Structure 1
Amino acid sequence: MDVLVVIDMQNDFIDGSLGTKEAQAILPNVEEKIKNFKGTVLFTRDTHEKTYLDSREGMSLPVCHCLKGTKGWEINSRLKEYVKEEPIDKPTFGSRFLAEKLVEMNEAEKIESVTLIGVCTDICVISNALVIRSFLPELPITVDASCCAGVSKCSHENALEAMKMCQIEIEGL
């Protein structure tokens, strides 16, 4: 079984409070990748409460985003039809819940590979790739760079290089 993990393709990261032109630009690539993927597709959803600004992250990034139940928290409407099970809510960058789900899935049926796409390459994509690597060290992990966007072009490229050093395959360059 192959698994595609779509990281945080939510309105706030595309055209909302933390949206970028880069995130908007990858949306067609992301949709095409999901549509043509032969395997299981999982979505994650950055999820914050109203007390976000009081959190460690909120103090460092004082921009309210992905507040549970808001339009910004929702998976982008262009991708909603591909959500087959409830997205994995994650209160921080990397998700142990995602990694634990993959471990559970791997125990039921061997996972051959995991591919990650989404935003932000330099924060949540890299964090989840490394968390998955620590939970499933022998699992082939790929990141499709053509379906990822970072906070900036430079930080996106730096994250891709860092993931390469951690034996994560980068495709789509």
Structure 2
Amino acid sequence: MRELLIVVDMQNDFLTGALGTPEGQAVLPGVTALARDWAGELVFTRDTHTSDYLNTQEGKNLPVVHCVQGTEGWQLAPELDALAKERGCKVFDKPAFGSTQLAHWAAMEHAREPFARISLVGVCTDICVLSNALLLKAALPEVPVRVYGSLCAGVSPASHTRALEAMQVCQVEVV
């Protein structure tokens, strides 16, 4: 059986842009190394908004324009973008925290050829990593879902830790 690695939202705006954090920047080398060495299936997600972001529910609750499709901030970090293109990886553009499209695709792929495990890394632990891990766990309850905690970064160190704890309670393995 194969293994799937999902690199969540490692985009410029979450690293050095509008919502960038030192913690996000700090995990980039490790995420890149894991993705580069990954022998199984590798996919990426991109937080994707339009120019009317501030008029959306998310934009009203987080009024920081970020990851507008086609902008530099929306692009994956250069080293990950190059890897995704080199390997022809699937990239899921998601308009919300979690991607139902990703969960559906994973379920269809699992039916075709089972996954032994699904792993996630990326940002933000407490928003998009958490949302996608739980969607995948709901879509594929018998497939082990793992999050590399040291290769994720949250909005803050405290919320990162809380998110990892919440995922563990939901039977997501945190390593």
TM-score (normalised: structure 1): 0.97
Q: Counterpart of 1:102?
A: 106
After the TM superposition, which residues 15-30 of structure 1 pair with which residues of structure 2 at under 5 Å, given as runs?
A: 15-30=16-31
Query: In the alignment, residue 112 of structure 2 is paired with which amino acid?
Result: A
Please say if 1:125 is aligned against 2:129.
yes
- Taking a change above 3 Å as real, the CA distance of residues 38 and 85 of structure 1, as seen in their structure-2 partners, is closer
Q: Counterpart of 2:7?
A: 6
- Partners of 2:112 and 2:132 in 1: how far apart? 21
Q: Counterpart of 1:62?
A: 63
The 3-state SS of whatever aligns with 1:79 is helix
Q: Counterpart of 2:160?
A: 156
Output one character per residue of 1:40-72: Cα deviation in whole Å (capped at 9) or x when no partner.
100000000011000000000000000000000
- Partners of 1:61 and 1:105 in 2: how far apart? 34
Q: Counterpart of 1:93?
A: 97
The 3-state SS of whatever aligns with 1:78 is helix
Unaligned runs of 5+ in 2: none
Query: In the alignment, residue 24 of structure 1 is paired with which amino acid?
Result: Q
Unaligned runs of 5+ in 1: none
Q: Counterpart of 1:31?
A: 32
Over aligned residues, Cα RMSD in angstroms? 0.7
Query: In the alignment, residue 127 of structure 2 is paired with which amino acid?
Result: I
- Partners of 1:157 and 1:145 in 2: how far apart? 9
Output one character per residue of 1:73-129: Cα deviation in whole Å (capped at 9) or x when no partner.
001102112212341010000110000110111111111100000000000000000
What percent identity do the matched residue pairs reach?
48
Query: In the alignment, residue 68 of structure 1 is paired with which amino acid?
Result: Q
Q: Counterpart of 1:135?
A: 139
- Partners of 1:69 and 1:80 in 2: how far apart? 14
Q: Counterpart of 1:78?
A: 79
**How many residues are aligned here?**
171
TM-score (normalised: structure 2): 0.96
The 3-state SS of whatever aligns with 2:160 is helix
Query: In the alignment, residue 167 of structure 1 is paired with which amino acid?
Result: Q
- Partners of 1:35 and 1:49 in 2: how far apart? 30
Query: In the alignment, residue 163 of structure 1 is paired with which amino acid?
Result: M
Poorly superposed stretches of 4+, deviation over 2 Å: none
- Partners of 1:170 and 1:81 in 2: how far apart? 28
